[in-house]
Amino acid sequence: MEEPSSLSAILDAVAVVARAVWGINWSWYLSWLVHIVALPLRLLWILLSFIASFLLVLLAPALYVVSYFLSWMNAIVAFVVGLEPLYTFFGAAAGVGIVAGIALGVTSSLITSYLGMQGDPQEDERQSAKMEKYDLGTSKASPAIIETDWYLADSSPTRQRRPSGLLSQTIHEEDDDSDL
């Protein structure tokens, strides 16, 4: 007979050990190990459940109040979420309004500049210089006159500055309060 080589002898030894390891009932040993490790955890769980039950009874009124406020908060959040189509609509309307306002402002300024409806800036400067001269030349009323004649309108001799642009061409209606 031939003598086995050293590699086959090693493989035979590994095979014998592997058969022995697979032959052992590991499920029984593992279940016993888990049972031994779980016993202190089970005792700790029983103790913690009694403490939690005691705290739950002790804090029940506070928990009911907190639950009540949380239900209100939940109702408010549900209401706001229910309004999603409205604030989506208003957001889109605001965007359209902004774009339309910008377009209207640009076209209005272009039209007034092309048609020559804007006021002359030099004329505005002259009128403001006149107003400053007038303010320096007039004396202020005494406090006694202001207190006694407050209801009398003082008509100023200066001409009111004419508004420039489209506002100067707008016809303003006056309110008529004589519906007696």
pLDDT digit string (tens) for 17-62?
Answer: 888 888 888 788 888 888 998 999 999 999 999 999 999 999 999 9
pLDDT at residue 180 tops 80: no
CA distance 20 to 25: 10
Which pairs count as long-range contacts for 96-103, CB under 8 Å and 24+ apart, including other chains? none
- Residue predicted with more confidence, 144 or 49: 49
Give every CB contact of residue 118 below 8 A, 6+ residues apart in sequence.
Answer: 112, 164, 165
pLDDT at 154 over 70: no
CA angle in degrees (0–180, nearest 5) for 67-72-75:
125
> What are 43's two structure tokens?
């005792």
**pLDDT exceeds cutoff 50 at 121:** yes
pLDDT band at residue 1 under the 50/70/90 scheme: very low
> Which tokens in the block code for residue 167?
């506002």
Q: CB-hemisphere CA count at 13 Å for 64?
A: 4
* Residue 132 pLDDT grade (very low, low, confident, very high; cuts 50, 70, 90): confident
pLDDT digits (tens, 9 = 90+) for 66-120: 999 999 999 999 999 999 899 899 999 999 999 999 999 999 999 988 887 776 6
